[in-house]
A and B are shown apart, each in its own frame.
Chain A
Amino acid sequence: MSDTLLSVKDLVIHYETEDEVVEAVNKISFDIKKGEVLGLVGETGAGKTTTALGILGLLPAKVGHVIQGSIELEGKDLLKLSEKEMRQIRGKKISMIFQDPMTALNPVKTVGDQIAEVVLLHNQCSKAEALKRAQEMLAMVGIVPERYKDYPHQFSGGMKQRIVIAIALACEPELLIADEPTTALDVTIQAQILDMMRKLQKEQGTSVILITHDLGVVAEMCDNCAVMYGGELVEYGTLEQVFDNPKHPYTRALYKSIPSLDKDVERLEVIPGLVPDPSDLPEYCSFFERCSEKCDKCNKYDPVSTEVEPGHYAKCLQYMKEWEG
């Protein structure tokens, strides 16, 4: 337990509006060790971002509600903390970077100020020291430090994402949540950003939750991998386990749909049907409609995540005794 940084247990998050209730996250549990990079994979609407916002307590006011579950960071359940205590954690212990760098920075403040702000928030130091720290961070993310006086609109998309990362890592957080950090960037810039993130992660020993829908990025960056579908964690394991020996039908279907160089295939395999409507989820297995390996009992039970092999979990009826019965 000692080296577990964050453990999420039975987390349920709903979005309640006047017309409908969206079950975004349904009973998710996972742990992250210090220095571990966990890839959170899944199609859009699978609840990845909601999980991240839930951890940081940034769910939209009046609409986002944590129904049940606990998120323990070093023994303390974040959901029980007051807003004031939560603020001390955000940016200090856990920080987050978002998808679209173009709008992630305040257009009317200099980048130096925006980095210095998080430093000033969490350490007792003068503005000058904070700005010096900001320049160090700029150098770390590969930007000329003297440009700390410039404004966000004077940087390209890739440069802006570097600044956002600089802000996130300025206070050397223990956990960095990156919500599709490179999706908005083109491939070449994407590779540079990912290399830089891996380098910084190694140096500072930060644990990272990398949210993406791009399996290639996961393969390159992550130690463990968690696959999400319909707000549930359908498979969890080390990179090798999940990539080389996928257990859950959805994960297997995902790999089939990746174009590979060595096999020349006329048409790519596509998973039939659509992602389930989160405001109208079935009681049974959410992947039932689209599953190619289902049996007639699959629409009666909602399977529980079972440990198929040490450290490799899958949420499918195949690995439960009800499968034969």
Chain B
Amino acid sequence: MLKYIIKRILLLIPILLGVSAIIFLLKTVTPGDPARQILGNTATEEQVQELREELGLNDPVVVQYVRYIKNIVTKGDFGSSYRTGEPVLSEILPRLGTSGIITIGAVAIGAIIGIVLGIISALKKYTWVDSLVLVISMFFQSVPEFVVALVLIMVFAVNLHWLPATGITSIKGFILPMVTIGLASVASYTRITRSSMLEVLGEDYIRTARAKGQTENNITYHHALRNAMIPVAQSIGTSLGNSIGGGMVIETVFGVPGVGKYIVDSITQRNYPSVLGGALIIAMVLTIINLIVDISFVLIDPRLKTTIIAGGAKKPKAKAA
């Protein structure tokens, strides 16, 4: 097991190098001068050039890139934000917490609703219930995120005053962002659960359980559900990963200081150390989450234990996520 984990962690390095290289490339291409952004629009050209020298912005891209990577590797220093001067790491970690909480909450909401709807529509196959579930789950996937967000604010904050409209000064501020992101993912969870349940219900061991005299409900919840959850867990894992950095639109509408908003603001302010640091940290979090998700499958599906531990050789017939 340890060898597998180390292999996955080593894989992280090329990814991080790739991410930082591409962002460096994008940085040089994007117009708008960071030095000008720091000094404000009234600074003179000489002052701007002087700051560019000081920040090493005039060095060739490769030199800047090597220096950046060296700093991270040797001192774990992700550079400091042009805007506030704080080290990028200390700015991002609390925001990672906020985004993390919202993502976990959103995925939980999406998964729970999705799985329940998926099971219902699997058990009630070909009835009007199945089509109704399909329509409901499709609905939230068909409306742009920020429309859902603004409508939720209007209903729950403006009219009902139950929840704060923006900001997370109080814990209740987390609820609406979670619900918005969660609802959008309900459709995919419903579909995965439904098809996985149908597949499992057709398996022989379900018939064996029936032959034992087991009740339909127990068969659904003890036998079928647990097996059906494997592909669902895989999709939860992957979506947990990529929605960490993805909540930009939602974080902007709700004014939530998450990682997504931090990167968007940094891009607008041409605050490149923050953009780079943010993207790298998200890449790291992404890989670690995917690793944790893969390992947790072993707890759910013992069959994977042998494939995972035996050097991760994937059988060609493995059901890819």
The answer to whether B212 and A90 have CB atoms under 8 Å apart is yes
* Size range of the chain A interface in the assembly: 20 to 34
Which residues of chain B are near A95, meaning CB under 8 Å?
A: 211-212
CB of B298, distance to nearest CB on chain A (Å): 11
Interface centre among A103, A104, A106, A121 (most CB of B within 10 A): A106
Cα A248 to Cα B300 with chains together (Å): 55
A87-123 interface mask toward B, CB cutoff 8 Å, 1 = contact, 0 = none? 1111110011010100111111100000001100110
**Among B203, B214, B301, B302, which residue has its beta carbon within 8 angstroms of that of A103?**
B203
Which residues of chain B are near A91, meaning CB under 8 Å?
A: 211-214
Which residues of chain B are near A89, meaning CB under 8 Å?
A: 213
Cα A122 to Cα B210 with chains together (Å): 13
The answer to whether B208 and A105 have CB atoms under 8 Å apart is yes
Cα A17 to Cα B109 with chains together (Å): 39
CB of A51, distance to nearest CB on chain B (Å): 15
**Among A56, A117, A164, A168, which residue has its beta carbon within 8 angstroms of that of B214?**
A117
Judged by a CB distance under 8 angstroms, whether A27 is at the interface is no
Judged by a CB distance under 8 angstroms, whether B93 is at the interface is no
Which residues of chain A are near B306, meaning CB under 8 Å?
A: 153
The answer to whether B207 and A98 have CB atoms under 8 Å apart is yes
Cα A151 to Cα B269 with chains together (Å): 57
Q: Given A98-B204, A106-B227, decide whether A90 and B211 contact each other with a Cβ distance below 8 A.
A: yes
| Interfacial residues of chain A within 63-108, with CB under 8 A of chain B in the complex | 87-92, 95-96, 98, 100, 103-108
The answer to whether B302 and A108 have CB atoms under 8 Å apart is yes
Interface centre among B205, B213, B223 (most CB of A within 10 A): B213
Which residues of chain B are near A118, meaning CB under 8 Å?
A: 212-213
The answer to whether B301 and A167 have CB atoms under 8 Å apart is no
Judged by a CB distance under 8 angstroms, whether B172 is at the interface is no
Q: Given A106-B223, A107-B227, decide whether A122 and B213 contact each other with a Cβ distance below 8 A.
A: yes
Cα A35 to Cα B318 with chains together (Å): 45
Q: Given A98-B204, A153-B303, A153-B306, decide whether A108 and B226 contact each other with a Cβ distance below 8 A.
A: yes
**Among B215, B222, B227, B301, which residue has its beta carbon within 8 angstroms of that of A87?**
B215
Interface centre among B205, B208, B212 (most CB of A within 10 A): B212
Judged by a CB distance under 8 angstroms, whether B209 is at the interface is yes
Judged by a CB distance under 8 angstroms, whether A21 is at the interface is no
The answer to whether A121 and B212 have CB atoms under 8 Å apart is yes
Closest to A96 in B: B211
Judged by a CB distance under 8 angstroms, whether A58 is at the interface is yes
The answer to whether A121 and B213 have CB atoms under 8 Å apart is yes
* Size range of the chain B interface in the assembly: 20 to 34
**Among A92, A98, A108, which residue has its beta carbon within 8 angstroms of that of B208?**
A98
Cα A146 to Cα B210 with chains together (Å): 27
The answer to whether B205 and A105 have CB atoms under 8 Å apart is yes
**Among B204, B223, B227, which residue has its beta carbon within 8 angstroms of that of A100?**
B204
Which residues of chain B are near A106, meaning CB under 8 Å?
A: 205, 208-209, 223, 227
Which residues of chain A are near B302, meaning CB under 8 Å?
A: 107-108, 151, 153
Cα A87 to Cα B212 with chains together (Å): 8
Interface centre among A56, A89, A108 (most CB of B within 10 A): A108
Which residues of chain A are near B226, meaning CB under 8 Å?
A: 108-109
**Among A96, A105, A108, which residue has its beta carbon within 8 angstroms of that of B300?**
A108
Interface centre among B211, B214, B223, B226 (most CB of A within 10 A): B211
Cα A98 to Cα B206 with chains together (Å): 12
Q: Given A107-B303, A108-B300, A153-B303, decide whether A121 and B214 contact each other with a Cβ distance below 8 A.
A: yes
Cα A96 to Cα B208 with chains together (Å): 8
A28-47 interface mask toward B, CB cutoff 8 Å, 1 = contact, 0 = none? 00000000000000000000
Which residues of chain A are near B210, meaning CB under 8 Å?
A: 58, 90
What are some 11 contacts across the A-B interface (CB < 8 A)?
A91-B214, A96-B211, A100-B204, A106-B227, A107-B302, A108-B300, A109-B223, A122-B213, A151-B303, A153-B303, A167-B208
* A-B contact sample (18 more), CB < 8 A, given A58-B210, A98-B208, A106-B208: A56-B211, A87-B215, A90-B212, A91-B212, A95-B211, A98-B204, A104-B204, A106-B209, A107-B205, A107-B301, A109-B222, A117-B209, A121-B212, A121-B213, A121-B214, A164-B208, A167-B208, A167-B212
- What is A's interface to B at a CB cutoff of 8 Å? 56, 58, 87-92, 95-96, 98, 100, 103-109, 117-118, 121-122, 151, 153, 164, 167-168
- What is B's interface to A at a CB cutoff of 8 Å? 203-205, 207-215, 222-223, 226-227, 300-303, 306
